[in-house]
């Protein structure tokens, strides 16, 4: 076989048939060589990709899934029940690997909106208090979680005031896509937080790339810290963990 091959390949006075056979042989051998070459590269490539992915995959996936979460706790009461729900949400979201910041409105200066509409030109409020910093944080977040006590079947006044004052967001790009609402009230009737949910939905509707993902209501808690030991705290933790 090898002799025939060499005879055909090297012989200068080969006939037309022999030259044709030589051509076919070259084509077959060249084809085989290339198949092995590319086959080998493919195997190396697939294996290499698999190894690189397993090396970097864990970190890459984690970074992709990590969200910036802002939790705005609006009760000003010491031992606030809604703040404790918020804290559990924070713990859950942190355990899930997210970048979480909780901000309490306690101690913040937030004046009423004057309705001047200056924010629509400036992208920030003309009143110089704590709102512009808060607004910047909300704009950067992927997830916004509000926690509020129910006051007269609505969200707290301080939460509504902050929402109004962040009107400058309306003319800006925003990151948040997911919104959560945590509420507490003295009454246990499931309809108790409905108006607060509707009010927040009014805000969310103005940011159409976002949606209200979930609400959590803990009724039957009136006194400060009365929520301690309530199973709703674990639910808030689980909710945060699912962000």
Ligand X SMILES: Cc1cc2nc3c(=O)[nH]c(=O)nc-3n(C[C@H](O)[C@H](O)[C@H](O)COP(=O)(O)O)c2cc1C
Residue, CB closest to ligand X: 149
Q: Are 4 and 22 in contact (CB under 8 A)?
A: no
- The number of C-alpha atoms within 13 Å of 140 and in the hemisphere containing its C-beta is 12
222 lies in the binding site for ligand X (CB under 6 A) = yes
Residue count, binding to ligand X (CB under 6 A):
19
Max CA distance (Å), the chain: 109
- 50 part of the interface to ligand X, by CB under 6 A: no
- What is the contact mask toward ligand X in residues 182 to 201, using x (rule: CB under 6 A)? --xxxx----x---------
Residues numbered 74 to 103 that lie near ligand X (CB under 6 A) are 75, 77, 80-83
Provide CB contacts within 8 A for 130, sequence distance 6+: 108, 109, 110
Residues 6+ apart with CB under 8 A from 61: none
When asked if residue 149 is in the footprint of ligand X (CB under 6 A), the reply is yes
d(CA 226, CA 216): 17
Should residue 216 be labelled a site residue for ligand X when binding is judged by CB under 6 A?
A: no
Q: Give helix 194-205 / helix 157-165 axis angle, nearest 10°.
A: 0
The region of 10-18, 58-66, 116-124, 221-229 touching ligand X under the rule CB under 6 A is 221-229
Q: Residue 150 interacts with ligand X (CB under 6 A)?
A: yes
Binding of residue 132 to ligand X (CB under 6 A): no
The site for ligand X (CB under 6 A) is made up of 75, 77, 80-83, 149-153, 184-187, 192, 221-222, 224
């Amino acid at each position: 076989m090898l002799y025939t091959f060499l005879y055909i390949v090297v012989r200068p006075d080969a006939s037309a048939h022999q030259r044709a056979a030589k051509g076919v042989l070259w084509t077959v051998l060249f084809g085989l060589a290339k198949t092995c070459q590319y086959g080998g590269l493919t195997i190396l490539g697939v294996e290499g990709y698999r190894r690189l992915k397993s090396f970097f995959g864990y970190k890459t996936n984690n970074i992709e899934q990590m969200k910036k979460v802002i939790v705005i706790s609006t009760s000003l009461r010491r031992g606030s029940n809604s703040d404790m729900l918020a804290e559990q949400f924070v713990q859950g979201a942190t355990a899930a690997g997210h970048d979480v910041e909780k901000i309490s409105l306690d101690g913040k200066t937030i004046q009423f909106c004057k309705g001047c509409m200056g924010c629509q030109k400036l992208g920030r409020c003309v009143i110089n208090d704590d709102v512009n910093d808060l607004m910047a944080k909300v704009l950067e977040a992927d997830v916004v979680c509000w926690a509020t006590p129910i006051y007269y079947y609505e969200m707290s006044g301080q939460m509504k005031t902050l929402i109004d004052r962040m009107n400058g967001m309306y003319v800006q790009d925003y990151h948040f896509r997911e919104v959560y609402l945590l509420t507490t009230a003295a009454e246990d009737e499931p309809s108790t937080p409905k108006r607060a949910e509707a009010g927040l939905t009014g805000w969310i509707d103005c940011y159409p790339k976002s949606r209200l993902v979930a609400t959590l209501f803990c009724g039957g808690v009136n006194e400060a810290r009365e929520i301690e030991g309530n199973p709703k705290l674990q639910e808030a933790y689980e909710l945060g963990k699912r962000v």
